[in-house]
């Protein structure tokens, strides 16, 4: 009896000390790009492992990535296939004028395409009913996918935003997140936080242009969508966009430009980088065959699997001159026939695991956000070859941190390209600074994935987080920028100057009259 009583006592203590975890239904909706999908899938898996019921709402062009995932998916039809999108991007990279315009105003094109996707989604009554039937407690949304605020209003649930591409001023400013123009570069300015006078003038001009672009490409068209489908038409799209409870930014101040952030914005770090796993046998054999010279990894992302033929030929010639082995993610048929024996072309590779291999010496990349952070997580220096969009901003961060060099593939010569690659390989400063950034990124009390799930669960537990909402959300623009205060001060100073001038004039007149009076008396 005594043993039984003792056992019961310990059982009661164990039960009392256990924390009751409430299982919630969480809906996640990434943008229709591969990189965004991989981030959201990883977050969804972590939430599922914590006992939550999770569904990923994804576009049909991503179906082939689902595979044997244990995460439940809801698939909606995308108006264009992934190959057609890829072809459009490749045409942009091949036209120097269009490429530069796209570098300055990349989201104008993206938002136009989003409107089509969102309209098709809202017209799809079958998928909308499936989403409603899931009865989600929370929506985890991609901050650059403008269909999410509209979906939130349909479901009437809280929303947590995730920014897969770091702090993008074009979208952050629409969420009333401070981006001081004096030291935070706007998209397309090719600047860092150290700007000359004329660079600040350029930055200010781009800031003003961005305000107009947001009105015509963001607020108006998606506000019209809300009215067209009668989704809370009394509320503007700007108000719907700012209705998120928290924003999780996939970036790290180890690399990104320090700036003030509201309490509801969390810099969680990069979600995808992780300790490297063993490579497939053929890749491992290739890596080991490189000897002491090592391997250079070359990839240009999921949206650009091939480049212009002249650029590919230029790169092939330069790679053939190097002692290192070249592991290149590219379609073999796109390369010249006479490829050097040190080059291995593959259609797919485990990028994170290759970057984490001890034989990897350098990463040549278009500077996609995920690849950039994976390289730096593993301490691999970079040669940055930006093509469009935020890749130029990412490149500026890499050059600013001293962990890589920038090249423009369209204009650089073979000899110059070889010189840049050799300089990054031979200068130990690049590797040293990359290793330092790697240490900073890894030195966190919680991993980015754990922190993202912790923040989502915090919103689930507490619901409305209005106490974290800064007052700037509710201020009109003239109050936010203190235009009324500056006008008042200007009017006050003008009035004081006018009064002083009037007083001085009166005194002068008085003195002059007295002097004239004395002269007449004499």
33-46 confidence digits (pLDDT tens) = 888 999 999 999 99
The residues facing 346 across adjacent strands are: 329
Residue-range domains of the chain with CATH = 25-269+446-474 (3.40.50.2000), 281-442 (3.40.50.2000)
The pLDDT value given to residue 19: 40
The whole-number pLDDT of residue 522 equals 61
Higher pLDDT, 271 or 510: 271
Give the tokens for residue 488.
Answer: 């008042």
The mean of the pLDDT values for the chain is 86
| Whether the predicted pLDDT of 415 surpasses 70 | yes
How far, in Å, CA of 381 to CA of 399, rounded? 10
Lowest mean pLDDT among 246-250, 304-308, 364-368, 458-462: 304-308
Question: Confidence band (pLDDT; 50, 70, 90) for 254?
Answer: very high
Hey, what are 92's tokens? 């942009």
List, in order, residues 6 or more apart from 204 with CB less than 8 Å away.
Answer: 181
Tens-place pLDDT, residues 353-362: 999 999 999 9
Instruction: Tokens for 87, please give them.
Output: 């072809």
Q: How confident is the model at residue 518 (pLDDT cuts 50, 70, 90)?
A: low
Q: What are phi and psi of 128, to 5 degrees?
A: -65, -40
Of 389, 231, 138, give the one whose Cα is nearest residue 222: 231
Grade residue 21 by pLDDT with cuts at 50, 70 and 90: very low
d(CA 478, CA 217): 22
β partners of residue 74: 57
Residue 427 has pLDDT above 50, yes or no: yes
**pLDDT tens-digit series, residues 379-390:** 999 999 998 778
Rounded Cα distance between 360 and 374, Å, is 13
CA distance 401 to 404: 8
DSSP strands (E only) in 333-430 = 343-346, 360-365, 382-384, 404-406
Check pLDDT > 70 for residue 420.
Answer: yes
**pLDDT value at 86 more than 70:** no
CA distance 52 to 23: 5
How high is the pLDDT of residue 209? 85
- The Cα–Cα gap between 128 and 429 comes to 54
Residue 199 reports pLDDT greater than 60 = yes
Mean pLDDT of 441-455: 95
Q: What are phi and psi of 348, to 5 degrees?
A: -150, 150
Q: What is the pLDDT of residue 336?
A: 82
Instruction: Please report which confidence band the pLDDT of residue 279 belongs to, taking 50, 70 and 90 as the band edges.
Output: very high
Q: d(Cα 502, Cα 378) in Å, to the nearest integer?
A: 71
Bridge partners, 7 (sequence order):
none
Q: Cα(343)–Cα(346) distance, rounded to whole angstroms? A: 10
Query: Which residue's structure tokens are 């006078």?
Result: 197
- How far from 382 is each of 78, 285, 299, 405, 418, CA to CA, in Å? 34, 24, 11, 7, 14
Please determine, for residue 5, whether its predicted confidence score (pLDDT) is greater than 60: no
Q: How many Å apart are CA 390 and CA 103, to the nearest integer?
A: 7
More confident residue, 104 or 441: 441
Check residues 375 and 471 and name the one with the higher pLDDT. 375
Scanning the structure block, which residue is given the tokens 């990923």? 56
Whether pTM > 0.75 for this model: the answer is yes
**C-alpha closest to that of 418 among 325, 342, 318, 340:** 318
Task: Determine the pLDDT at residue 16.
Answer: 38
CA distance 173 to 208: 11
Q: Residue 97 has what pLDDT? A: 54
Q: How far apart are CA 386 and CA 395, in angstroms?
A: 7
pLDDT at 9: 44
pLDDT for the residue 175: 79
pLDDT tens digit sequence for 496-511: 999 999 889 888 888 7
- The owner of tokens 């235009």 is 483
């Amino acid at each position: 009896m005594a043993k039984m009583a003792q056992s019961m006592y310990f059982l009661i203590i164990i039960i009392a000390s256990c924390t009751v975890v409430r299982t919630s239904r969480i809906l996640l909706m990434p943008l229709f790009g591969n990189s965004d999908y991989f981030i959201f899938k990883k977050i969804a898996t972590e939430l599922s492992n914590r006992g939550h019921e999770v569904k990923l709402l994804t576009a049909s062009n991503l179906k082939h990535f689902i595979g044997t995932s244990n995460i439940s998916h809801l698939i909606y039809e995308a108006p264009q296939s992934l190959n057609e999108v890829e072809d459009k991007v490749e045409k942009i990279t091949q036209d120097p004028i269009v490429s530069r315009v796209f570098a300055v105003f990349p989201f104008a094109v993206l938002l136009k395409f989003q409107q089509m996707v969102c309209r098709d989604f809202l017209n799809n009554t079958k998928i909308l009913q499936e989403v409603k039937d899931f009865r989600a407690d929370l929506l985890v949304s991609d901050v650059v996918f403008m269909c999410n605020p509209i979906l939130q209003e349909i479901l009437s649930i809280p929303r947590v935003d995730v920014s897969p591409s770091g702090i993008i001023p074009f979208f952050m400013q629409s969420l009333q997140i401070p981006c001081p123009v004096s030291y935070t570069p706007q998209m397309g300015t090719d600047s860092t936080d150290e700007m000359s006078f004329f660079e600040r003038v350029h930055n200010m001009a781009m800031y003003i242009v961005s305000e107009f672009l947001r009105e015509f490409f963001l607020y108006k068209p998606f506000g019209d969508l809300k009215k067209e489908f009668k989704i809370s038409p009394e509320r503007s799209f700007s108000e719907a966009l700012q209705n998120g409870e928290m924003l999780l930014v996939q970036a790290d101040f180890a690399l990104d430009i320090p700036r003030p952030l509201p309490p509801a914005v969390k810099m969680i770090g990069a979600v995808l980088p992780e300790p490297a796993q063993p490579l497939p046998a053929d890749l491992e054999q290739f890596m080991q065959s490189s000897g002491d010279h090592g391997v250079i990894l070359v990839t240009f992302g999921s949206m650009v699997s091939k480049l212009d033929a002249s650029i590919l030929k230029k790169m092939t010639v330069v790679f053939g001159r190097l002692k290192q082995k070249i592991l290149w993610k590219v379609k073999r048929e796109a390369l010249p026939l006479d490829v050097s024996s040190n080059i291995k072309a593959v259609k797919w590779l485990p990028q994170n695991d290759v970057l984490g291999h001890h034989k990897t010496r350098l990463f040549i990349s278009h500077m996609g956000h995920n690849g950039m952070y994976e390289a730096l997580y593993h301490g691999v220096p970079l040669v940055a070859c930006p093509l469009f969009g935020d890749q130029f901003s990412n490149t500026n961060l890499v050059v600013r941190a001293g962990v890589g060099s920038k090249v423009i593939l369209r204009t650089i010569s073979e000899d110059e390209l070889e010189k840049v690659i050799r300089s990054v390989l031979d200068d130990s400063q690049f590797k040293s600074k990359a290793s330092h950034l790697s240490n900073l990124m890894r030195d966190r009390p919680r991993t980015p994935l754990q922190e993202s799930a912790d923040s989502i669960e915090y919103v689930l537990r507490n619901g409305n987080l209005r106490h974290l909402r800064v007052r700037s959300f509710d201020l009109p623009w003239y109050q936010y920028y203190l235009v009324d205060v500056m006008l008042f001060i200007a009017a006050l100073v003008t009035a004081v100057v006018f009064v002083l001038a009037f007083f001085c004039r009166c005194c002068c007149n008085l003195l002059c009259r007295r002097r004239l009076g004395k002269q007449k008396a004499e």
